[in-house]
Amino acid sequence: MCLSQARCPRQRFGSGHLCADRHAQACSLRRRKTLIFCTRDAAETHWQKLCAEFDTHGLPEPEKVGIPGGSSVEEFWEIFETVNEHIPEEAEIVFDVTHSFRSLPLIMSVLLNYLEVVKGTKLVGCYYGAFEVLGRAADVEKEYPDPADRRAPIFDLTPFFQLNDWVKAIRDFKRFGDAGDLNRLAWQDTKPLAAKEETRTDELLALRSLTGALNKFTQMVHSSRCKDIQDFNFESNILNQLGPATQCSELPQLKPVLAGLGDVFAAYQDKDLKNGIRAARWAYEHDLIPQGYTLLQETIVSYYAQEFVADLKRLYPKREDEVKRREYTSALLAWRTGSWKKEDSGLAEKLKDKIDPEVEKHYDTLTQGRNDINHGGHSHNARKAEKLKKDLGDAITKFEALLC
């Protein structure tokens, strides 16, 4: 394994022989420190030869770091801790899986994934020297007596390790409702194809467009952009892109994700106020509780402001008076007893009679929950987190039945 750092002197470490010139080039020269992780038996058998090979390639003299053979769970954890201890923050790693017991590459793959999250490291290459292609060891020694002639193909396994990035991106989208990394990886991995006319297919463009739209939607939900969600063209940006996008063969890891999106977004329509209720459901299902309260309550205000628009425009006729019309509607939904505090109490009484009492009841629940969240629980009758989520779910279900 080789590593370098953007902020620190370049380093190199690994286990086993350098398997070919390409590997030496991948690790690059002029590293100040080289670490070789190896067992005692491996060091006794290969260390001198390995040092000589490093010298031949002009690489710095390596430093040996002992690890156990990995014959028990305890030894696996010792390997894990030893390697973790020696890898600095933000290291760029090239991993050679050619040598060692077959269990060790598995341990290292898990460790690399861990280090990427915890220390911000980056796997820039993973290679396997396929020596078995040359034949049995005994036959190879006879046919190629000079080790320098034992040239075997090197397989680049980096894309398979990069699948870990996709796993995390898909998890973030499905569990947390965040399509940011999903979109970034889709555009990153298809950029070379999109740059050439002969590989820039309609399916590829549909896939890139779809992930971009999903990212925009999840950003709008996370930032409670209710108006933007109500104005968004879901049919053209998401639903109409699904068919061709699922036919794109370039990113097979995305197909299972795309397959379920048709059902998820089936109810969404272009420029529909009720998309705010649907987005509140999305927020609830992805544990975005503050966003869910905001999206749902602001959608209810939008719905009744639209229902009462003719009367409200007579009171607030200017185009820029939309905010005033919404404020009037919000006050109507919250008005229970006492005198009317805004303009035209007669209009207020007339419009209030048109509001379903069930809507008023659940609107109050949203107001109380949203206020509780905004004050961080420092209010009278503050609710527990579980109660806030349950109340939101109940309100969404009620408004879906009343308004959708």
- CA distances to 71, 81, 108, 109, 137 from 102, in Å: 12, 19, 11, 12, 18
Can you name the residues that pair with 13 across neighbouring β-strands? 35
Whether 276 and 226 have beta carbons less than 8 Å apart is answered as: yes
Most confident region among 63-67, 207-211, 341-345 by mean pLDDT: 207-211
**pLDDT tens readout for residues 301-318:** 999 999 999 999 999 999
Q: What is the pLDDT of residue 99?
A: 67
Q: Which of 71, 121, 130 is nearest to 97 (CA)?
A: 130
Cα separation of the two ends of the chain:
58
**pLDDT band, residue 398 (cuts 50/70/90):** very high
Q: What is the pLDDT of residue 338?
A: 84
Q: What is the mean pLDDT of the chain?
A: 88
Rg over alpha carbons for the chain, rounded to the nearest Å, is: 31
Q: What is the pLDDT of residue 125?
A: 87
Q: What is the pLDDT of residue 145?
A: 86
Residue 20 has pLDDT above 50, yes or no: no
User: How many Cβ atoms from other residues are within 10 Å of residue 162's Cβ?
Assistant: 16
**Which SS3 state, helix, strand or coil, does residue 255 take?**
helix
Rounded to an integer, the average pLDDT of 39-45 is 90
Question: In which residue are the tokens 């894309």 written?
Answer: 159
**DSSP label of 145:** -
Q: Residue 345, class by beta-carbon neighbours within 10 Å (0-12 exposed, 13-18 middle, 19+ buried)?
A: exposed
Distance of CA 10 to the CA centre of its chain: 30
Q: Residue 304, class by beta-carbon neighbours within 10 Å (0-12 exposed, 13-18 middle, 19+ buried)?
A: buried
**pLDDT tens readout for residues 93-134:** 888 877 666 677 788 888 888 999 999 998 888 888 888 888
**pLDDT band, residue 4 (cuts 50/70/90):** low
Q: What is the pLDDT of residue 344?
A: 92
Residue 26 has pLDDT above 70, yes or no: no
User: Using CA atoms, how far apart are residues 404 and 226, in angstroms rounded to an integer?
Assistant: 16
Can you name the residues that pair with 14 across neighbouring β-strands? 36
**pLDDT band, residue 14 (cuts 50/70/90):** very low
Question: In which residue are the tokens 């999206």 written?
Answer: 295
pTM of the model: 0.82
